[in-house]
Homo-oligomer: A and B are copies of this chain.
Amino acid sequence: MVKKLVEDKIKLGVCYYPEHWSEELWEDDYRRMKELGFTYVRMGEFAWTIFEPEEGVFSFELFDRAVAKAHEYGLKVIMGTPTATPPAWLTHKYPEVLNVTQDGISYQHGARRHYNYNSETYQRLSSIIVTKMVKHYKDHPAIVGWQIDNELNCEMDVFYSEADHKAFREWAKAKYETLDNLNQAWGTVFWNQTYTSWDQVYLTRKTVPNSPNPHHMLDEKRFISDSTISFAKVQADILRKHAPDQWVTTNGMFNHLDNHKMTNELLDFFAYDSYPNFGRVIEDKSEKPLRDRKWSWNLSIVRSISPNFAIFEQQSGPGGWVTRMEQPSPKPGQLRLWTYQSIAHGADMVMYFRWRTATKGTEIYWHGINDYHNLPNRRVKEVDKVSKEIQLIGEKIAGSSYKAEVALVTSYDNEWDGEFDKWYGPYASKSKDAWIKAFQYNHVPADAVYLRNETTINELKKYKVLIYPHPAILTKQQAELFKEYVKEGGKIIFGCRSGYKDETGQTYMKAFPGYLADLVGVTVEDFTRVAPFEEVPSINFKGENVLEANDFNEILHLQSDDVEVIGTYSNAYFEGKPALVKRNYGLGSSYYFGGVFNLEQASLLLKEFELNNYQDQFELPEEIELAIRHNDGIEYTFLLNYSERPQEIIVKKEFRNILTGNIVTNKHTLNPYDVLVLES
């Protein structure tokens, strides 16, 4: 079951908070939204106290008027459930609903997401408000769908209230049945951590020196994800029961949450909040940083959840809180560029955040398309331009699919375990960065694959090549799946630190890379981190290139005659030993690299894998992203210029520019931040 958004054309919209503004402004606001060609208005998600000013007293007047007025202007409304920000009366009366730090200090009213998912009180009060709202709005002709809460796990992804500890205990009982099983899974015999009674079991707590049991920690993150989904499920069930004709989703992609599972189990499709401008303030000292273009990878992950998806918050100005995240203004053209970035990757609905910059609160610098002054500005003009373009091309593109023949593989288990484990987590980040840069700069469209228990061979066979950099946790079943994939013709590559842990995060008593050894035909004979202050070793790649062997070096031992050594260490005490091997296996081939990937290596390997980089159609500078959506045999090629400088491209055949209707061929110049959408 693929949960994708179904729209007949690309649609735009905007987030709007009627409760923030004088009611006199509403009509003009809606009129201008309509003029901008917007279809959707999203509202309601931070308004619990307006809906329920005191416990058990409900009031819909304000939003009734706001929705009615939107309806008058032909706008469709997406209504949010307001549980992300409990009312002051609620947390004051029921402090047990508050989230608590690992040290036991309670968060308090004053910002957002200060509640915990497992409080029965909070679940009860949430159910009541959601039920009241859906019953009230289920038949409203303007309302098309629901957003549950807002950005689950944003800014806060750990929870240690009493309710959480209690729920975790029950979760652990359900998972392990006996304490003996739990003790085995968490390896509690180490450092005498053995539990002899269930009431000794808690979420991780303050330890000396802040280093809890890693297997316990991994389960804690699984529990947080399950808690989040359970919390959302209560609302999803209520909404579906009462409003079966309105769709249900939630927005944002945050940590400690299996968004795939949540979407599959609860939602109609996934909605993402896209703020590429963060990429221009987050420090990135890596080689050739992607900056805002990194969001293309985020969108690839979103696509792995919902092939066609919605953007519920598309950056529409400089962002920032009063106290942090201070962003520059998007340059002229960037709002348009980022909108096309979303669409190129599969968005069929894009809602700008927000209509007008707030004049109060923590987000007065999280700019909307309109400024405080509400006068015409360049951002509104740019959105108007995009909207007119989308009206031209939106019908063609809606429903089409992103085209990729390579996928970068990961799993929630490895991401959550690696977050804590300094012996492979940081390598996973580095290698991911190297690969997504290599994809971008070499114009190789790529997908993300989250390996799940349900993952089938057919889902993998869509790809010529799979790249799974450092899967520390890798089960026997997963190894079998990859063998099958390669046997049937696929290519797969693994990096160092692969296959040495089971699902508990404990290590196998096996030579590395564990169950993968059968497929890749090597074991790891010796290994070392590259020490700080040491010379970084190097690798001779096919006798042609000398590459850095940064961070970690595994010395490989061939277990089979059919393994071909294509990279050897060219210095250090392991000079001449294998670093990178290839093995033909069935109809395909496997690769194993005893290191952490960097951009140069990844770019060479993309060539080795013979992936399509569309050189028969284009000559493109690195600054341009190439993305293709296709539908019924027609391809829509998006060329996006992320650079502040014009870029020359060579187009080797004739394409139609569907934004202008012109034919594009031979030399063409993309202006700074400009976009081409070509049909062929």
A372 near B: Cβ within 8 Å?
yes
In the complex, are the beta carbons of B510 and A373 less than 8 A apart?
yes
Pair B375/A511 contact, Cβ less than 8 Å:
yes
Cβ-defined contact, A373 with B192, below 8 A: no
- Give the chain B neighbours of A49 by CB distance below 8 A: 192, 194, 196
Q: Which residue of B lies closest to A378 (CB)?
A: B526
Could you give, for residues 11-52 of chain A, a 1 whenever the CB lies within 8 Å of some chain B CB and a 0 otherwise? 000000001100000000000000000000000001111100
List of B residues within 8 angstroms of A421 by Cβ? 322-323
Please state if B103 and A191 are interface contacts (CB–CB under 8 Å).
no
Q: Are B361 and A531 in contact (CB under 8 A)?
A: no
With CB as the reference atom, state the residue of chain B lying closest to A196.
B89
Residue contact A156 to B208, C-beta cutoff 8 Å: yes
From A192, A193, A378, A423, residue with most partner B Cβ within 10 Å: A192
A543 at the interface (CB under 8 A from B): no
List residues of chain B with CB within 8 A of the CB of A109. Answer: 193, 200, 205, 207
Q: Is A195 an interface residue (CB 8 A)?
A: yes
> A204 at interface (Cβ–Cβ under 8 A)?
yes
* A216 contacts B by Cβ under 8 Å: yes
Q: Is the CB of A88 within 8 A of B194?
A: yes
Per the bound structure, the CA–CA distance linking A242 and B327 in Å amounts to 58
Tell whether A7 is near chain B: CB-to-CB under 8 Å: no
Which A residues, 74 to 129, have Cβ-Cβ distances below 8 Å to chain B?
A: 82, 85-89, 92, 99, 103-114
Q: A110 contacts which of B82, B207, B422 (Cβ < 8 Å)?
A: B207
The one of B104, B326, B359 in contact with A509, judged by C-beta atoms closer than 8 angstroms, is: B359
B509-A107 in contact (CB<8A): no
* Nearest B-chain residue to A529, judged by Cβ: B328
Task: State in angstroms the CA–CA spacing of A361 and B501 once bound together.
Answer: 12
B residues near A510, Cβ cutoff 8 Å: 372-373
Question: Is there a chain B Cβ closer than 8 Å to A166's Cβ?
Answer: no
Binary CB contact string for chain A from 182 to 208 against chain B (1 if under 8 A, 0 otherwise): 000011011111111101101011111
**Which residues of chain B have C-beta atoms less than 8 A from A423's C-beta?**
320, 322, 326, 365
> Is A71's CB within 8 Å of the partner chain B?
no
Contact A422 B205 (CB under 8 A): no
A616 in the interface (beta carbon within 8 A): no
Are A192's CB and B85's CB within 8 A?
Answer: yes
Q: Beyond A423-B322, A573-B331, is A191–B362 a contact (Cβ under 8 Å)?
A: yes
With most chain B CB atoms within 10 A of its CB, the pick from A48, A322, A512 is A322
Asked, given contacts A207-B107, A362-B214, whether A193 binds B88 with beta carbons under 8 Å apart, the answer is yes
Q: How far is the CA of A531 from the CA of B205 in the complex (A)?
A: 39
CB distance from A162 to the nearest CB of B (A): 14
- Separation of A328 and B551 alpha carbons in the complex (Å): 10
The answer to whether B531 and A280 touch across the interface, beta carbons within 8 angstroms, is: yes
User: Given the complex of chains A and B, what is the CA–CA distance between A581 and B560 in angstroms?
Assistant: 73
Whether the pair A328, B196 counts as a contact (CB closer than 8 A) is: no
Q: Are A528 and B375 in contact (CB under 8 A)?
A: no
For the complex of A and B, the 9 pairs showing the least CB-CB separation, nearest first, are: A187-B360, A190-B361, A329-B528, A111-B207, A108-B205, A85-B192, A328-B531, A88-B200, A110-B207
A binding-site residues for B, Cβ under 8 Å:
19-20, 46-50, 53-54, 82, 85-89, 92, 99, 103-114, 155-156, 186-187, 189-197, 199-200, 202, 204-216, 280-281, 283, 289, 291, 318, 320-324, 326-329, 331-332, 357-365, 371-375, 377-378, 420-423, 500, 504, 506-512, 526-534, 573
Known pairs A187-B358, A214-B361 / 18 extra A-B pairs, C-beta < 8 Å = A50-B189, A87-B194, A89-B200, A108-B206, A110-B204, A112-B208, A156-B208, A190-B362, A190-B363, A211-B323, A214-B323, A215-B361, A281-B532, A323-B420, A357-B507, A360-B507, A372-B500, A372-B509
Q: What are 30 pairs between A and B in contact, CB < 8 Å?
A: A19-B189, A46-B192, A47-B192, A82-B192, A85-B192, A85-B193, A86-B192, A87-B192, A88-B195, A89-B196, A106-B206, A108-B205, A109-B193, A111-B209, A112-B191, A114-B208, A186-B360, A190-B363, A191-B361, A213-B361, A214-B361, A280-B532, A289-B533, A318-B529, A322-B422, A359-B506, A360-B504, A372-B510, A377-B526, A378-B526
